Chain A
Amino acid sequence: MIQSPIITAFGLKKTYRGASKPAVDDLSFDVRQKEIFGLLGPNGAGKSTTLMMLCGLIKMDAGSMEVLGLDVRQNGAEVRRRIGVAPQEIALFPTMTAYENLVYFSRMYGLPGTAIRETVLEYLGVFGLADKSSQRVATFSGGMKRRLNLVAALLHRPQLLILDEPTSGVDVQSRRMILDYMRRLQAEGVTILYSSHLLDEAEKVCSRFVILDEGRRIAAGALAEILAANGGSDNLEQMFLHLTGRGVRD
């Protein structure tokens, strides 16, 4: 099966103002249709920076990026309209209820008013939040917030999902629910670009990866390819420590 790339990134580079070294340096990768692609790396590797460049919210200094056939530099707004993004930080209104948050975001997506209530209630049900729908988000647990943060990216049923550490700070049950749902979406034909520093978790859901450290790509490809190319480690974590050493990252 030959899959055409849905994201093509080439030679991405970004240095934040005042920073001594680039946050992302000469990064290239491509994501194919209907796959779950892992953007992996330790803290500060440049994962979030890459994803924000992909949405056009951070300008790249060099390189090029095409998403769904659109050049991000020129059509950032159009790209954002077509994809769903769950940012790493919880991006919700804490003093509004779960239901109000989702209704507001649906309206901002421009969804037809008649369908909004139904869609929102459906997703709240799927993610086990139906009975908490009229509670303020501020009262939610970390796992509930994380799930709601994901739902807010799904409302307009995008064909490409960008999830920045969708499982950070959640318990086993929530994590399982989120990962299962990602697989279900994949089965429905949705492409997912997923970032994580949890290499073992990524191993389970992703078909292909790019691994970053300090802004640079240190490995890329399918799991078996990567492991084979790096002296036959048993898993990603072992290989990663082998490649980068045990020093703590920023």
Chain B
Amino acid sequence: MKILATIWKESILLVRDLGGMSLIFLMPLALVIVMALIQDNSFEIMQESRLEVLFVDEDADALGQRIAQALQASPNIHLIKNLKGRPLTAKTAERLVRAGDYKAALIIPEKASITLRKKVEETAGGLFAHYGFGSVTSSVKASPPIDLQILFDPAIKPNYRQALTGAVEKMTTSVQATWLMDDIQRRLGEATGRGGKTIDFSEMIHVRQNDASSDDAGGMALNAVQHNVPAWSMFAMFFILFPLAGNFIKEREEGSMLRLRLISGSQSPVIAGKFLFYLGVCLLQLVLMIGVGLYVMPLFGLSKLALGANHVGIVLTGLAVAMAATGYGLLIAVYFITPQQALSFGAISVVILAAIGGVWVPVFAMPPIMQKLSPFSPLNWGLSAFNHLFLRSASTAAILPDLAKLLFFSCATLAASLLIHRSRIVL
């Protein structure tokens, strides 16, 4: 009853506070649309950025062709074989990478195919000789190893460097193995007098490419809408501290809080009523923001927000974030004495928490040092849970750690608020 009365009172105060209303409802709507539009391009670049690799094929034979083929099939690598209509030379490639114009160059040396064939023959021949078939034609160690060269710009991201090196190694091993098997088959055929049998090795092991971050099948890539809607929803929800702390301190200054202390035996209904009311406001903000993602974003030519399949998880996450945001607002409200202190500290702290939490720029695009900080931001916990849900339809169990952190944060701030509020008996 007293809690309901307080909720009713808070709603009157908020509805008549036009500044507060527009701050928590209009600002986030404008912000989310503007940010999504601004970032729409950069997300495509971030997602689809392909590594341009200079490809110098001095071999011009089977090995070079196979490697080129395999790399061209990879969606993340763009091979450049000719520059200004002329085939690249090792020297130009080296110069261009040194200058930072390209991030990497792959050089297949002259006669690489011939050398590899020779080595395969040597190996197979050695093997057969060892088991008493045929005679040793030459020593295994006779020809030097083939010197494939990958040049990297030192500024290249480590994961690109690994990806390219890995791809090249895989290709050369595969070519080497295929040729070796061919040779052994041929020799076996000769030795036994039976015809050769072609064996296809390619289907023995099938490696499926998976995005490292997706733990469920069927994940979708992060885009401007998928990132900005949950990110700015949470930013807006944490900005609830503006009307919350603003009104709270106003009540303290204007004396109505003294009246409530005089009336009420316990302050719990007053605090609980405020908490529940602003919790509801936070949830309303989230619903509005999701509505914008679903129905307004497409009108601006952006993609429609995908919610995933776990709707219960979304409700739970929304609730947990709303509780954390309201708890934080309440703590700011009771801790600071003047509205100026509360609102400036509150605003700056939320902007910082949002920045390290990955609201402005997704965590994966932040510098490593900042990435280390982001697990400390409640906005990051919420964002991580929303991304799991929206992008990968994660199960509720998968977001449980994030929810637990948010709930703990909420309980801790709420308990601290109550303690501080009680200790401030003297007004």
**A61 beta carbon closer than 8 Å to chain B:** no
Known contacts A80-B262, A104-B9; is A89 also within 8 Å of B255 by CB?
Answer: yes
Known contacts A91-B256, A104-B8, A107-B1; is A77 also within 8 Å of B266 by CB?
Answer: yes
**A187 beta carbon closer than 8 Å to chain B:** no
- Tell me the nearest residue of chain A to B261, going by C-beta: A57
CA distance A80 to B258 in the complex (A): 12
Cβ–Cβ contact B2 & A96, under 8 A: no
Cβ–Cβ contact A55 & B262, under 8 A: yes
Residues of A close to B259: CB separation below 8 A? 87, 91-92, 105, 152
CA distance A107 to B3 in the complex (A): 9
Interface size range on B against A: 20 to 34
Residue numbers of A with Cβ under 8 A of B are 16, 52, 55, 57-59, 77-78, 80-81, 85, 87, 89-96, 100, 104-105, 107-110, 113, 152
CA distance A92 to B253 in the complex (A): 11
Residues of A close to B365: CB separation below 8 A? none
Cβ–Cβ contact B263 & A105, under 8 A: yes
Known contacts A87-B258, A89-B255; is A109 also within 8 Å of B426 by CB?
Answer: no
**14 new A-B contacts at CB < 8 Å, known A104-B9, A152-B259:** A16-B426, A57-B426, A77-B266, A87-B259, A89-B255, A89-B258, A90-B255, A91-B254, A92-B254, A93-B13, A93-B251, A93-B254, A96-B16, A108-B5
Known contacts A57-B427, A58-B426, A107-B5; is A93 also within 8 Å of B265 by CB?
Answer: no
Cβ–Cβ contact B12 & A96, under 8 A: yes
Residues of B close to A109: CB separation below 8 A? 263
Residue numbers of B with Cβ under 8 A of A are 1-2, 4-6, 8-9, 12-13, 16-17, 251, 254-256, 258-266, 269-270, 425-427
Residues of B close to A92: CB separation below 8 A? 254-256, 259
Cβ–Cβ contact B256 & A108, under 8 A: no
In the assembled complex, the CB of B396 is this many whole angstroms from the nearest CB of chain A, namely 38
9 closest Cβ contacts across the A-B interface? A107-B5, A91-B259, A77-B265, A91-B255, A89-B255, A95-B16, A85-B262, A104-B9, A108-B263
Known contacts A80-B265, A152-B259; is A96 also within 8 Å of B1 by CB?
Answer: no
In the assembled complex, the CB of B268 is this many whole angstroms from the nearest CB of chain A, namely 11
In the assembled complex, the CB of A4 is this many whole angstroms from the nearest CB of chain B, namely 25
| 9 contacting pairs across A/B (C-beta < 8 A) | A16-B426, A52-B426, A59-B426, A80-B264, A81-B265, A92-B256, A92-B259, A96-B16, A152-B259
Cβ–Cβ contact B254 & A94, under 8 A: yes
CA distance A128 to B265 in the complex (A): 30
- Tell me the nearest residue of chain A to B259, going by C-beta: A91
Instruction: Give how many A-B residue pairs fall within 8 Å (CB-CB).
Output: 81
Residues of B close to A55: CB separation below 8 A? 262
- Tell me the nearest residue of chain B to A84, going by C-beta: B262
In the assembled complex, the CB of A103 is this many whole angstroms from the nearest CB of chain B, namely 8
CA distance A25 to B146 in the complex (A): 98
Known contacts A59-B425, A93-B256, A110-B1; is A87 also within 8 Å of B9 by CB?
Answer: no
Which residue from B16, B254, B255, B260 sits with its C-beta under 8 Å from A108? B260
- Tell me the nearest residue of chain B to A88, going by C-beta: B255
CA distance A129 to B9 in the complex (A): 21
Residues of B close to A96: CB separation below 8 A? 9, 12-13, 16
CA distance A96 to B11 in the complex (A): 11
In the assembled complex, the CB of A132 is this many whole angstroms from the nearest CB of chain B, namely 17
Known contacts A90-B255, A93-B251, A96-B13; is A107 also within 8 Å of B2 by CB?
Answer: yes
In the assembled complex, the CB of A219 is this many whole angstroms from the nearest CB of chain B, namely 28
In the assembled complex, the CB of A157 is this many whole angstroms from the nearest CB of chain B, namely 14
- Tell me the nearest residue of chain B to A95, going by C-beta: B16
Residues of B close to A93: CB separation below 8 A? 9, 13, 251, 254, 256
Residues of A close to B427: CB separation below 8 A? 57
Residues of A close to B2: CB separation below 8 A? 107-108, 110
CA distance A96 to B251 in the complex (A): 12
Residues of B close to A77: CB separation below 8 A? 265-266
CA distance A90 to B258 in the complex (A): 10
- Tell me the nearest residue of chain B to A156, going by C-beta: B263
CA distance A131 to B425 in the complex (A): 37
In the assembled complex, the CB of B423 is this many whole angstroms from the nearest CB of chain A, namely 11
CA distance A93 to B6 in the complex (A): 12
Which residue from A78, A95, A107 sits with its C-beta under 8 Å from B265? A78
Cβ–Cβ contact A95 & B256, under 8 A: no
In the assembled complex, the CB of A24 is this many whole angstroms from the nearest CB of chain B, namely 13
Known contacts A100-B12, A107-B5; is A57 also within 8 Å of B262 by CB?
Answer: yes
Cβ–Cβ contact A95 & B17, under 8 A: yes
In the assembled complex, the CB of B218 is this many whole angstroms from the nearest CB of chain A, namely 51
Query: By CB atoms of chain A within 10 A, which of B8, B262, B264 has the most?
Result: B262
In the assembled complex, the CB of B12 is this many whole angstroms from the nearest CB of chain A, namely 6
CA distance A109 to B269 in the complex (A): 12
In the assembled complex, the CB of A111 is this many whole angstroms from the nearest CB of chain B, namely 10
In the assembled complex, the CB of A159 is this many whole angstroms from the nearest CB of chain B, namely 16
